[in-house]
Amino acid sequence: MDWITDRQHFERLKEKHDFLVLFFYGGFSEPAQRALRELEEFSRENENVPIFGVDVQKIKDLHRQFGVESVPTVLALKKGRANQLLRGVKSARFYSLALAGAGGQRAPGRSGKAPRRVVVYSGPGCPACGQLKSYLRRHGVGFREVDIARDERAARELTRRSGQMVVPQTDINGRLVVGFDKAKLDTLLGIQSERSES
């Protein structure tokens, strides 16, 4: 991970890279320091993703251009335009999953359709969550998991969206499936139903 030195440096990088990731950082923020450690790990594991730090104490106007109001914030840019915004501290694994296709580099599936974004919201001591994840893995469906017991913001947002504070819930390209509802999952994911399953 490199650091942007000034606006001219950023403009040169924007011309050079169709896709790049900006990390808005401030040394005054303990969460930003934690996010920096995670992003450095992400960068080591994803050398093909161009990621650049922006110290808001040194470069004072770049964050305003993109409407960034707090640190840490990660912003993916595609052809100079904001493509994805992540606020707060995330794990290196989360950044890998979240940014894996932000640059549009994922190949479409065999069907030629756009790739799916699947997020499983789970919680501790939830048998149905384990069954759901096993079901998705068995059918080759990649997903990102969010434990709502560890992520209060995600829990609040999930309750706001679905009106229910239950797990599991699955977000498939923005559509929520509450519970382990095989029929709905099969429809949204294009899975051939397993009639022999109980």
Residue (of 97, 101, 191) closest to 146 by Cα position: 97
The pLDDT score that the predictor gives to residue 29 is 94
> How sure is the predictor about 101, in pLDDT bands with cuts at 50, 70 and 90?
low
Residue (of 45, 43, 177, 173) closest to 109 by Cα position: 173
Angle at 76 between CA 72 and CA 79, to 5 degrees: 145
Superfamily of domain 118-189: Glutaredoxin (3.40.30.10)
One fold for 2-99 and 118-189: yes
Considering the chain, what percentage of its residues have pLDDT values greater than 90? 52
The residues that bridge with 176 in the sheet, in sequence order, are: 171
Domain boundary assignment for the chain: 2-99, 118-189
pTM exceeds 0.75, yes or no: no
Q: How far is CA 50 from CA 37, 75, 77, 103, in A?
A: 16, 12, 10, 10
> What are the pLDDT digits (tens) for 31-68?
999 999 999 988 887 778 899 999 999 998 899 888 89
The pLDDT score that the predictor gives to residue 79 is 87
Looking at every residue in the chain, the average pLDDT score rounds to 85
Higher-scoring residue by pLDDT: 94, 135? 135
Residues 138-166 have a mean pLDDT of 89
> How sure is the predictor about 139, in pLDDT bands with cuts at 50, 70 and 90?
confident
Any long-range contacts for 175-184 (C-beta under 8 Å, 24+ apart)?
179/128, 180/128, 180/131, 180/132, 180/135, 182/135
> What are the pLDDT digits (tens) for 183-192?
999 888 887 7
Architecture of domain 2-99: 3-Layer(aba) Sandwich (3.40)
